[in-house]
Structure 1
Amino acid sequence: MAVVFLFTYLGASVPGPDSIKQNQVATILNANGGEIARIVPPEGNRTDVTIDKIPKAVQDAVIAAEDRQFRTNAGFSPTGLARAVIGQITNNDDAGGGSTITQQYVKNALVGDERSYTRKFKELAIATKMSNEWTKNDIMAAYLNTIYFGRGAYGISAAARAYFNKDITQINVPEAAVLASSIRSPSFYDPATNLAAAQARWRYVLDGMVTIGALTPSDEATLQYPKVAAPRDSSGTTTTGPNGLIKQQVLAELSSLNISEQDVQTEGLKITTTIDPKVQRSVVSAANGQLEGEPNNVRDAVVSIDPNTGAVKGYFGGNNGQGYDYAQAALQTGSSFKVFALIAALEQGVPLSKVYSSAPFDAPGGLTVTNSDGESCGSCNLATALKMSLNTVYYRLMMDLDGQAQAVADAAHQAGVAESFGDIKKTLQNTDGTGVEGGVVLGQYPSRVIDMASAYATLANQGVYHAPHFVQKVETSDGTVLYERKNDSGERRFSAAVANNTTAAMQPIAAYSNGHSLDDGQRPSAAKTGTTQLGDTGQNKDAWMVGYTPQLSTAVWVGTDAGVALKNYNGAIVYGSGLPSDIWQAAMDGALADEPIEQFPTPAAIGGVAGVPEEAPRTTATRRSREQDSETTEPEAPVTTFAPPSATLAPGVTIPLPGPPTETVITPTPQDPAGAGNGP
């Protein structure tokens, strides 16, 4: 091995910064090969600068971020190399990397990024020779003039312009730490797209500068994260409309597949996604078409997922391809979360025939749970209560579960609701670490549209989970396959009996919710609406429809930018069975047009009951749900009620306040299906 190393060492020539591969256009394609977006690296977007033009703070920040022994090592780190070898042997990506700054330069400039021991051996030999022949300043200058910092910026000079609109000579310590922070994964650590992660990495760099003696602890304590310029289109082309947001998701996913941004910028990649053009057209058409004529502040998001694979088939996070992605936003989900309480109950052997009272419920802590608009079934089973979206029944159910609120949160996570995202370190619990409140069953905690589509997809797939994903295959310009997703059996999260009984309870809901069945009632579906109240104003702020067939799961959210009262074109309150259900029905009908009609499996028995139980006609007087079809009822006589003042803590959850009772006169009127909606 020593002989081979010597020959490699003697025959090696150390390249200059201009010897790296030329930039090439990468193309993002849909599943049928149609173009979604192009990534065009800017030719010449790199200006080499000499080491005396690069502030020492910048050099120190890069050393702190990437190679804290740079000034003293021999071009490679024995301990880092050992960690990398152990990681490759054990297939443990968290074992750590072995690349020094010198090795990174050699890899980028000469030997490439092939994952093999041969490439690593050659990299070590050349890095060692460079360390012997070049000064540390020469190596640092070559490295900083070569590497990619994100935003289309190659080299430190272009990076200073891209992030701060400054000449490199004017960069200060906090700004230097931002630039150094981006090297590891430029898209992920860009503060414009992932501020929390960028700030955490920035602090890591500053701590490293203290460790290497470039900064005192007291100086570090005075530093604040600097203002970073908004990203400009540095790719050469701007991807407009919904495709721009798909492009962002694809680029983020590539990083998790060990495909570097250097690969994206220089390898002429062909990236085939899971996006189905037929589904995508239907999703975008429904998202935009159903909002025509609605108030300008109304926004929506739609995500469609293949339950059998986790492939994202349609994706709409908004029309601004460079703007905010509503499909990734943290949003309260309302009654669409009741489904997870039902899953938890079925897992514990509670059958759909279990009967609860729908009367108001006095929960622990002085909370009062009621139903939307005084809805009631008297007493009814869990399937009927889900169809009618009765808060009180499902709160009572949750309180009877082993684990109570935590059991609901656990079921949601099992189904596919993310454990964390964005700056939420742990979803479905209080941010102060005090655990899960009962409001979880009514959608108190935020989730994302993509998570709801994924979680319901697990139900559609009879309890088997597939992680949602966009990337199917990645090839270089010469046809080398860097990644290809293999078919897998998924991960069973709960039994088929649990999933199929939940599906059975959800099957009547689309039709019950203002007649939103699919394909004129010919195609079976399972769905649940949801609405989130705007405090105690009597208004709503978020409305949902989430549902699936065996082939496709689609989640729809409708709301506003500012979380204000959500109203439709004629000023009526928007409920889940209104605009969201209109969008869901249009998106699903279009996506599944000409596709075979598939039936849901017959559920096995749980607690001696299989599927929706028959329920004797109720004799208790009820008010018709706002979810029902276009029928109307005769108005009831006015009723006067006296209630103590209260405050709304979560959807359907109130707490009494001091003060005299207030008098309310309720004058019922026939239900208006055009403004219908379910409870919270």
Structure 2
Amino acid sequence: MPKENGRRAAGSGRRSAGPAPKPWWRRALRALLIWGGAIALLGAIFVGTAVFMTARELPSFPALQSSQNGQMIVVRARDGSELVSLGPSYGKWLPYEQIPEVMKDAIVSVEDRRFRKHVGIDPIGVARSVMVRVESGRWRQGGSTITQQLARTIFLNNSRTFGRKIREGVLALAIESKFSKDEILELYLNKVYFGGGAYGIDAASRKFFGHAATELSTAEAAIIAGLVKAPSNYSPTADVQAALSRGQVVLGTMVDAGVISEAEAASIDLDAVKIAKEKGQNSVRYFTDWALPQLDILIPNTDEPIEVWTTLDVGMQRAATQAIIANVPKGAQGALVSLDDDGAVRAMVGGTDYVNTNYNRATKAVRQPGSAWKLFVYLAALEAGYTPDDRVVDEPVTINGWSPNNSGRNFAGEIDIRTAFAYSKNTIAAALGNEVGFGTVASMARRFGITTPIDTNPSMVLGTSEVRVIDMTRAFAAVSAGGTSIEPYGIMKVTTTGGELLYQHEPTTGQVLVPPYVAAGITDLLQSAVATGTGRAAQIGRPVAGKTGTTSSNKDGWFLGFSSGITTGVWMGRDDAKAVSGLQGGRAPAAAFADYMREAVKKRPVKQFDTELKLPEWQLEPDDEMLFGSPDEYYYTDDEGNLIEPGGPRRMETEDDLSRYEDGITQPRADRIYERGRATPPAAAGDDFLDRATGRGAQVDPGLRAAPSAQGTIRAGSGSSVQQQLPPGPNVYRNPQPVQQPQ
């Protein structure tokens, strides 16, 4: 019994033993292959179905030939005339047989060398792109085939998303399944974008070289083929040297591909290629380059053709261009911005030649404004309580170790604010800026639309902070508008080609920047600068208010001013900021201003300036005596209790009186400024007024007179002494010390 049980047990053990289990990794690999194969099969079925369905939906070859890409934009002037047509430009469609072989070879060599071997997607190209990415740490080589680029050009956008790449691949496979390689290359070369608005090789050839694509040379074909990678960077109209350098790279790829020999490539001189100059692209393109980017904000995203109606006046633009070209010094550049009283840009010139340089100096360049910046200094002073008739002393000034000089290094002695501004006295501007505060001047500039950084060093009063022409013009336009803010704009409305309104400019009410009396006061000063001061070259036979500006070493020259509702700013200088011989704001810029403004305002009514100074209540002293007639006709007692006889001399203020204002109050009482009973200040200074105010009756030019001597005389710069009693009235600089000029 036990033996039998033992045999049974042994047999039972042999029956339970089976084959050893397979390692886990083999089981995992087997599952991966099965499931991977299944997923791949499903994916292939999905892709195949997607490609099949997409191919069925693709337009026919003739339909693709007639389709266009890109958005057409017709830009119109204020009167509706067409300024320029932007967007896609299409040349003649070239069948495959008419496309030069060198053009086909160049584009295939640089964009897709395996074009004839893949099915729309090139796995080898993708792998090579990934390897370069791993080695360099960034994507330096694209893996898109010509077919993929064609799919993107016709059907997709340039967004870099995974979903778009999947759609691009499906479309590429569908295109390859429906069209032949020759048809695909024909579509590509007639539709791809080459920059400068040119779609297709014929449009590119005509734009860049001035002839049809059937006449392309090897050098020209290499340049065009090189544009596809980055049309905006390599376009000959944007950067000729970049286009030629890229063309040299294409020649190298053609040698590698075996379509040309090294000797042939070495014999090609790309520098000898003649680039055609653009027609109708001068002057007005500065304006369109500034205005059209605003469409991204003004209207919703749309691909349909549109018409943009702008504020530009054709006649004024032509006059502006001629004025700059006729007056700009040799080797220098010029810029001009002209605004209507509502902020509409009527003319804009950003340089002397748009074709040679499309850099817009009117809106992009930042340069020092020189004395034109004094607009903000005097605005701050007028707002603080000064008036054009206040007396000041033109004498040496030192502020925190800084001592400004006047042009000619002479001093005029005691003059009024109006004369100081008209003759652009640096010392007066420095003292005023110091008194009202340099931060206050900077705040005033910000208030009037200056957007660039502003320093608050003492020298800032002479225009050391860099500004844009359009911002300075905007500031002067605000003065012309009575101290109300102005917002420059260039687009009136946008419509579809069918007339549907997409955008309409709505007039806005500007903010009040300064009180009316401040605007009237600064207009008085600006008018004086043109009538008798540094801006005399800007006179045009009707009222003009403006200011010159010249920077150190004659690097920049400015004139900004307004007349009859038109405000214009002119700048001249070199792009490299080197000195320009003889450049001063009162010369070439003022002359260009005058040449332009004569045309700009000739059909407008003459507009007189409002310079009537209506002071606010806080600046006026209650004067009960006025009820009793003129002070010359009765006895009265002054503030100190002194008895004043009829017709007697007015009491002169003493240093003790002046010391009362040392606490920072910038404006003395009104009777320190005006004579009793005088309602308004005079209009802009005339020659008679300046003669009385500055002593020119003695044949002394206020711009050349020396500072007063210790004996109270005004000495001429020549050394001869002109004895003259200083006119009565307070000196608004506290306790001035006479300065003895060297003989």
TM-score range for the pair, normalised by the shorter chain length? 0.5 to 0.7
In the TM superposition, residue 304 of structure 1 has moved relative to its aligned partner by 1.5
Normalising by structure 1, report the TM-score. Answer: 0.58
> 1:250 & 1:549 partners in 2: Cα distance?
26
Relative to total residues, which structure has the larger helix share, 1 or 2?
A: 2
Residue 249 of structure 2 is matched in structure 1 by none
In the TM superposition, residue 257 of structure 1 has moved relative to its aligned partner by 0.5
Q: Cα distance 1:578–1:162, how it changes in 2: closer, same or farther (>3 A)?
A: closer
**3-state DSSP of counterpart to 1:544:** strand
Deviations 1:475-498 (A, max 9, x none): 45x434575441321542613534
Deviations 1:491-510 (A, max 9, x none): 42613534443223322221
Do the aligned residues in 2 keep the contact of 1:192 with 1:231 (CA within 8 Å)? no
Q: Which of 152, 155, 179 is residue 106 of structure 1 equivalent to?
A: 155
**3-state DSSP of counterpart to 1:395:** helix
Q: Cα distance 1:566–1:125, how it changes in 2: closer, same or farther (>3 A)?
A: closer
Say whether residues 1:494 and 2:513 are aligned partners.
yes
> 1:62 & 1:342 partners in 2: Cα distance?
64
What one-letter code is carried by the residue in structure 1 that aligns with 2:197? Answer: G
> 1:561 & 1:44 partners in 2: Cα distance?
40
Q: RMSD of the alignment, in Å?
A: 6.0
In the TM superposition, residue 443 of structure 1 has moved relative to its aligned partner by 1.8
In the TM superposition, residue 279 of structure 1 has moved relative to its aligned partner by 2.5
In the TM superposition, residue 560 of structure 1 has moved relative to its aligned partner by 5.0
Say whether residues 1:580 and 2:589 are aligned partners.
yes
1:157-168 superposed matches below 5 A? none
Residue 524 of structure 2 is matched in structure 1 by 504
Q: Unpaired segments of 5 or more residues in structure 2? A: 1-52, 114-124, 134-138, 159-163, 210-216, 243-269, 621-666, 676-691, 706-713, 722-740
Do the aligned residues in 2 keep the contact of 1:102 with 1:127 (CA within 8 Å)? yes
Deviations 1:91-110 (A, max 9, x none): xxxxxxxxx9988853679x
In the TM superposition, residue 338 of structure 1 has moved relative to its aligned partner by 0.6
What one-letter code is carried by the residue in structure 2 that aligns with 1:20? Answer: S
Say whether residues 1:552 and 2:566 are aligned partners.
yes
Aligned length: 516
> 1:451 & 1:618 partners in 2: Cα distance?
35
Do the aligned residues in 1 keep the contact of 2:377 with 2:441 (CA within 8 Å)? yes
Name which of structure 1's ranges 605-614 and 486-495 shifts more when overlaid on structure 2.
Answer: 605-614
Q: Which of 416, 419, 425 is residue 390 of structure 1 equivalent to?
A: 425
In the TM superposition, residue 393 of structure 1 has moved relative to its aligned partner by 1.8
Residue 152 of structure 1 is matched in structure 2 by 197
Q: Which of 313, 331, 343 is residue 367 of structure 2 equivalent to?
A: 331
Do the aligned residues in 1 keep the contact of 2:219 with 2:273 (CA within 8 Å)? no
In the TM superposition, residue 449 of structure 1 has moved relative to its aligned partner by 3.0
**3-state DSSP of counterpart to 2:312:** coil
Residue 33 of structure 1 is matched in structure 2 by 80
In the TM superposition, residue 546 of structure 1 has moved relative to its aligned partner by 0.9
Residue 93 of structure 1 is matched in structure 2 by none
Residue 205 of structure 1 is matched in structure 2 by none
Residue 284 of structure 2 is matched in structure 1 by 246
Deviations 1:396-453 (A, max 9, x none): 2223345x25x43443343233x3xxxxxxx344xxxxx5543332122333333322
Q: Cα distance 1:169–1:599, how it changes in 2: closer, same or farther (>3 A)?
A: closer
Do the aligned residues in 2 keep the contact of 1:31 with 1:275 (CA within 8 Å)? yes
Do the aligned residues in 2 keep the contact of 1:352 with 1:609 (CA within 8 Å)? no
Residue 377 of structure 2 is matched in structure 1 by 341
In the TM superposition, residue 593 of structure 1 has moved relative to its aligned partner by 1.4
In the TM superposition, residue 386 of structure 1 has moved relative to its aligned partner by 1.9
Deviations 1:77-133 (A, max 9, x none): xxxxxxxxxxxxxxxxxxxxxxx9988853679xxxxxxxxxxxxx99998985996
> 1:371 & 1:615 partners in 2: Cα distance?
28
In the TM superposition, residue 43 of structure 1 has moved relative to its aligned partner by 0.9
Say whether residues 1:313 and 2:346 are aligned partners.
yes
**3-state DSSP of counterpart to 1:546:** strand
Say whether residues 1:303 and 2:337 are aligned partners.
yes
Q: Cα distance 1:54–1:182, how it changes in 2: closer, same or farther (>3 A)?
A: same
What one-letter code is carried by the residue in structure 1 that aligns with 2:196? Answer: R
Say whether residues 1:448 and 2:468 are aligned partners.
yes
Q: Cα distance 1:409–1:562, how it changes in 2: closer, same or farther (>3 A)?
A: same
Do the aligned residues in 1 keep the contact of 2:480 with 2:562 (CA within 8 Å)? yes
> 1:412 & 1:162 partners in 2: Cα distance?
45
> 1:318 & 1:583 partners in 2: Cα distance?
13
> 1:532 & 1:579 partners in 2: Cα distance?
14
Normalising by structure 2, report the TM-score. Answer: 0.54
Q: Cα distance 1:276–1:153, how it changes in 2: closer, same or farther (>3 A)?
A: closer
Do the aligned residues in 2 keep the contact of 1:274 with 1:312 (CA within 8 Å)? yes
Q: Cα distance 1:192–1:166, how it changes in 2: closer, same or farther (>3 A)?
A: same
Q: Cα distance 1:131–1:301, how it changes in 2: closer, same or farther (>3 A)?
A: closer
Residue 624 of structure 1 is matched in structure 2 by 701
> 1:13 & 1:597 partners in 2: Cα distance?
66
Do the aligned residues in 2 keep the contact of 1:307 with 1:551 (CA within 8 Å)? yes
Report 1 or 2 for greater relative contact order, CA contacts < 8 Å, sequence distance ≥ 6: 1
Q: Which has the larger radius of gyration?
A: 2
> 2:156 & 2:466 partners in 1: Cα distance?
43
In the TM superposition, residue 372 of structure 1 has moved relative to its aligned partner by 1.4
> 2:585 & 2:288 partners in 1: Cα distance?
30
Do the aligned residues in 1 keep the contact of 2:92 with 2:202 (CA within 8 Å)? no
Q: Cα distance 1:23–1:600, how it changes in 2: closer, same or farther (>3 A)?
A: same
Residue 669 of structure 1 is matched in structure 2 by none
In the TM superposition, residue 323 of structure 1 has moved relative to its aligned partner by 2.6
Deviations 1:198-230 (A, max 9, x none): xxxxxxxxxxxxxxxxxxxxxxxxxxxxx9999
Do the aligned residues in 2 keep the contact of 1:269 with 1:475 (CA within 8 Å)? yes
Do the aligned residues in 2 keep the contact of 1:37 with 1:244 (CA within 8 Å)? no
**3-state DSSP of counterpart to 1:501:** helix
Residue 208 of structure 1 is matched in structure 2 by none
Do the aligned residues in 2 keep the contact of 1:156 with 1:168 (CA within 8 Å)? no
Do the aligned residues in 2 keep the contact of 1:466 with 1:491 (CA within 8 Å)? yes
Q: Cα distance 1:42–1:471, how it changes in 2: closer, same or farther (>3 A)?
A: same
1:286-435 superposed matches below 5 A? 286-289=323-326, 296-297=330-331, 299-308=333-342, 310-324=343-357, 325-328=360-363, 329-346=365-382, 349-352=384-387, 356-364=392-400, 366-380=401-415, 382-402=417-437, 404-405=438-439, 407-417=440-450, 419=451, 427-429=452-454, 435=455
Do the aligned residues in 2 keep the contact of 1:465 with 1:493 (CA within 8 Å)? yes
> 2:129 & 2:60 partners in 1: Cα distance?
21
**3-state DSSP of counterpart to 1:335:** helix
Residue 255 of structure 1 is matched in structure 2 by 293
What one-letter code is carried by the residue in structure 2 that aligns with 1:624? Answer: D
Deviations 1:264-319 (A, max 9, x none): 9x96654433222343344344444556xxx64465433321131x2221233444
Say whether residues 1:605 and 2:615 are aligned partners.
yes
> 2:57 & 2:483 partners in 1: Cα distance?
56
Name which of structure 1's ranges 273-282 and 453-462 shifts more when overlaid on structure 2.
Answer: 273-282
Q: Cα distance 1:361–1:53, how it changes in 2: closer, same or farther (>3 A)?
A: same
Deviations 1:631-654 (A, max 9, x none): xx99754489xxxxxxxxxxxxxx
> 2:285 & 2:74 partners in 1: Cα distance?
10
Do the aligned residues in 2 keep the contact of 1:304 with 1:453 (CA within 8 Å)? yes
